Structure 1
Amino acid sequence: MVRDYSAFLPGASASQPSDRALTALESLGWRPFFAQQIDAEALTETPPVRVLSVHRSGLQVAGDGIEELIPPGPEATVGDWLLFDRALPRNSRVLDRASLIKRRAPGHDWQVQLIAANIDTLFVVTSCNQDFNPARLERYLALAFDAGIEPVILLTKTDLVPDPAPYVEEARGLSDRVPVVALDARGEAPARELAEWCRPGRTVAFVGSSGVGKSTLTNALAGSLAIATQAIREDDAKGRHTTTHRELHPVPGGCLLLDTPGMRELQLTDAAAGIAELFEDIEELAAGCRFRDCAHETEPGCAVRTALDAGQIDAPRLARWRKLKAEDAFNSASLSERREKDRAFGKMVRGVMKQKSRQKR
């Protein structure tokens, strides 16, 4: 059966009422940004599908009447949109992303690890216990800002503290542009408190440490207990890994939820814009320093040090800004060097193969 995809092209639904039922693709997050990348003929020949999960055996995708496991081939991550090539699934093309969350992969091989694509809202989850860590929250916020994703801080396990207000106040102090929601991840509170961001056709993701309640939140919003959960350790409030891989969960009549495994290490790379956006006040001060390469330590005419001495900025926050900028600069430079070496090696291999081909003639 050849489906008519003309309704999914730009402007096709402009005259439709805003309260109409979403199409199958729209319920998966399809919107004009993606439709503008393809014409009607190609859209029919290679229908769009979204990556719901990534496994060693391939990509699990879904579209309008399509559910397939595509063999490894396309360089895609969870949340990506592909143009599905039925004849050669490995050749399915990845559409440009509206947003991308990535980090420097753990270890020493200097690779970029793709976390998720095309996320609308990133819920940064932490709990009202020893897991609460402003520096970690700022990493996630910088990641979201850099990717152009709307971040929301979720404070869970409010039932474990006499008063969550101090946690809420400290979280709000990280950025006046980031909403903060405190709730018990169990029961009906998540569906009620997060409804503003979890509208049909939108894609949201939960990120944070293990044991902060990401899977519990996913179950609460999905109205099921399909995802296993585990209690934290009582001695240090550390969580146990529950989710073992990233997967999009369509919520009946609602959004798509991405539950992610807890990340013990979140190394930023190529996130300078996000860091600058999060620490906008310090960045503006730094622009007023006398020297362009000011380290904000003992240099004369340092606007940042002047503001610090006057109590206009917080010393721990300034230290966290310095650390994130240094880390991002180091990782970005190292990854760039690795990519350059890979390109040089590829060029050398092609040269050798070309030379062998000439010798055989």
Structure 2
Amino acid sequence: MVRDYSAFLPGSSKAQPAAAPARSALEALGWRPFFAQQIDATALTETPPVRVLSVHRGGLQVVGDGIEELIPPGPEATVGDWLLLDRALPRNSRVLERASLVKRRAPGHDRQVQLIAANIDTLFVVTSCNQDFNLARLERYLALAFDAEIEPVIVLTKTDLVTDPAPYAAEARTLSDRVAVVALDARGAAPAAALADWCRPGRTVAFVGSSGVGKSTLTNALSGNQAIATQAIREDDAKGRHTTTHRELHPVPGGCLLLDTPGMRELQLTDAAAGIAELFEDLEALAAGCRFRDCQHETEPGCAVQAALDSGGVEPARLARWRKLKAEDAFNSASLSERRGKDRAFGKMVRGVMKETSRRKR
């Protein structure tokens, strides 16, 4: 059966009838005009859109309107991506332009970029009211979200284990006046009520944070079941063990899609200069007033940042964290750029050798 996808194209009279229609299968998966405007009716019918729910070694688990299957590896996609499914050659399925992309420098020494998730609307940065709470770690996640143009929300869990969670919430709010902070007990009905404003139908949200902070418990609470196993943290250091072993989108009651992620032991930023600048916009504004454009904000004359530090207008610890993130991002970005350059040069050399070999065989 050939499906009629015309309702999903921008400008279609079918897309906005007078009476509010029930959400379509694609809209329930997060389909919106941003993706529809990238294709035409012919492509939409011949290569139906599907969304990547999870990525495995054996392929990509995708779902669409009447479609749910595992396609072989091939498209360079991550969880949350939209593909135009090539039925004849699934490996050639096209990845649509992303509305947002969460990425990091992959662990290890090869400095590759690891794609975490695509097309996320809200990033819930989860930490707990115990030894896991760490401003520097929170700043990394916020810079990641700002760089990807995703709305971040800080979620403080395990409020039942402390006398008063207010000091944790107050400290989290010092990071940015544009980031909401929600403190809750991850169990029971509290998360569904507290996070309802961000978990609207058709929206895609993700939980990120360390192991043991309650991401899987939150996922279960929003899903209304206990489908995802949870584990207790160690009492001596509040560290958790990995409960979630891979990233997967879960449709939940209420209509949103929720991404639970494994805890990240290491979050190295790369190509995230814009996100860092947005998070530390006050320091960036000060730096713009320095006498020298390449000021390192240490001992240079006419340094506006140092002047603010001396007058008490800048917190030394926050300044140190800003410097560290900028240096890390610059190093990782330069290393990746150098590697890409070498890969391009190597590819060019290989193509040249193959072309020369082919010419000689004639």
* TM > 0.5 fold call: yes
Tell me if 1:63 matches 2:58.
no
Tell me if 1:3 matches 2:23.
no
- For 2:42, the equivalent position in structure 1 comes to 41
Paired residue secondary structure (2:145): helix
For the residues of structure 1 that align with 2:217 and 2:16, how far apart are their CA atoms? 39
For the residues of structure 2 that align with 1:211 and 1:53, how far apart are their CA atoms? 22
- For 2:287, the equivalent position in structure 1 comes to 286
Q: How does 1:54-93 map to 2 (within 5 A)?
A: 54-93=55-94
- For 2:134, the equivalent position in structure 1 comes to 133
Paired residue secondary structure (1:151): strand
For the residues of structure 2 that align with 1:44 and 1:308, how far apart are their CA atoms? 60
Following TM superposition, by how much is the alpha carbon of 1:14 offset from its aligned partner in structure 2, in angstroms?
5.5
Following TM superposition, by how much is the alpha carbon of 1:358 offset from its aligned partner in structure 2, in angstroms?
1.6
The residue type equivalent to 2:131 in the other structure is Q
For the residues of structure 2 that align with 1:177 and 1:75, how far apart are their CA atoms? 33
- For 2:301, the equivalent position in structure 1 comes to 300
- For 2:353, the equivalent position in structure 1 comes to 352
Following TM superposition, by how much is the alpha carbon of 1:295 offset from its aligned partner in structure 2, in angstroms?
0.7
Tell me if 1:268 matches 2:269.
yes
- For 1:148, the equivalent position in structure 2 comes to 149
- For 2:329, the equivalent position in structure 1 comes to 328
- For 1:185, the equivalent position in structure 2 comes to 186
Following TM superposition, by how much is the alpha carbon of 1:20 offset from its aligned partner in structure 2, in angstroms?
3.2
- For 2:203, the equivalent position in structure 1 comes to 202
Following TM superposition, by how much is the alpha carbon of 1:51 offset from its aligned partner in structure 2, in angstroms?
0.2
The residue type equivalent to 2:144 in the other structure is L
Deviates more, 1:252-261 or 1:160-169: 252-261
Q: Deviations over 1:63-100 (max 9, x none)?
A: 00001111000000000000000011100000000000
The residue type equivalent to 2:249 in the other structure is L
For the residues of structure 2 that align with 1:359 and 1:225, how far apart are their CA atoms? 66
The residue type equivalent to 2:119 in the other structure is N
Following TM superposition, by how much is the alpha carbon of 1:21 offset from its aligned partner in structure 2, in angstroms?
1.7
- For 2:167, the equivalent position in structure 1 comes to 166
- For 2:123, the equivalent position in structure 1 comes to 122
For the residues of structure 2 that align with 1:267 and 1:15, how far apart are their CA atoms? 43
Following TM superposition, by how much is the alpha carbon of 1:252 offset from its aligned partner in structure 2, in angstroms?
3.2
Paired residue secondary structure (2:68): strand
Gaps of 5+ in 1: none
The residue type equivalent to 1:198 in the other structure is C
For the residues of structure 1 that align with 2:17 and 2:276, how far apart are their CA atoms? 40
The total of aligned residue pairs comes to 361
CA contact (8 A) 2:49 2:82 kept: yes
For the residues of structure 2 that align with 1:210 and 1:253, how far apart are their CA atoms? 26
Identical-residue share of aligned pairs (%): 87
Check 1:336–1:317 CA distance in 2 against 1; reply closer, same or farther (3 A cut): same
For the residues of structure 2 that align with 1:314 and 1:124, how far apart are their CA atoms? 23
Q: Deviations over 1:32-83 (max 9, x none)?
A: 0000000001100001000000000000000000011110000000000000
Following TM superposition, by how much is the alpha carbon of 1:16 offset from its aligned partner in structure 2, in angstroms?
3.3
The residue type equivalent to 1:33 in the other structure is F
Gaps of 5+ in 2: none
Paired residue secondary structure (1:152): strand
The residue type equivalent to 2:84 in the other structure is L
Q: Deviations over 1:156-206 (max 9, x none)?
A: 000010000000000000000000000000000000000000001000000
For the residues of structure 1 that align with 2:105 and 2:214, how far apart are their CA atoms? 25
Paired residue secondary structure (1:82): strand
CA contact (8 A) 2:9 2:15 kept: no
The residue type equivalent to 2:4 in the other structure is D
Check 1:341–1:232 CA distance in 2 against 1; reply closer, same or farther (3 A cut): same
For the residues of structure 2 that align with 1:142 and 1:170, how far apart are their CA atoms? 17
Following TM superposition, by how much is the alpha carbon of 1:360 offset from its aligned partner in structure 2, in angstroms?
1.7
TM-score (norm 2): 0.98
For the residues of structure 2 that align with 1:28 and 1:137, how far apart are their CA atoms? 29
CA contact (8 A) 2:126 2:156 kept: yes
Following TM superposition, by how much is the alpha carbon of 1:351 offset from its aligned partner in structure 2, in angstroms?
1.0
For the residues of structure 2 that align with 1:254 and 1:18, how far apart are their CA atoms? 20
The residue type equivalent to 1:210 in the other structure is S
Following TM superposition, by how much is the alpha carbon of 1:141 offset from its aligned partner in structure 2, in angstroms?
0.1
- For 1:222, the equivalent position in structure 2 comes to 223
For the residues of structure 1 that align with 2:125 and 2:230, how far apart are their CA atoms? 18
Check 1:311–1:14 CA distance in 2 against 1; reply closer, same or farther (3 A cut): farther
Following TM superposition, by how much is the alpha carbon of 1:17 offset from its aligned partner in structure 2, in angstroms?
5.5
Paired residue secondary structure (1:244): coil
For the residues of structure 1 that align with 2:51 and 2:43, how far apart are their CA atoms? 16
For the residues of structure 2 that align with 1:215 and 1:19, how far apart are their CA atoms? 34
Check 1:172–1:17 CA distance in 2 against 1; reply closer, same or farther (3 A cut): farther
Following TM superposition, by how much is the alpha carbon of 1:110 offset from its aligned partner in structure 2, in angstroms?
1.4
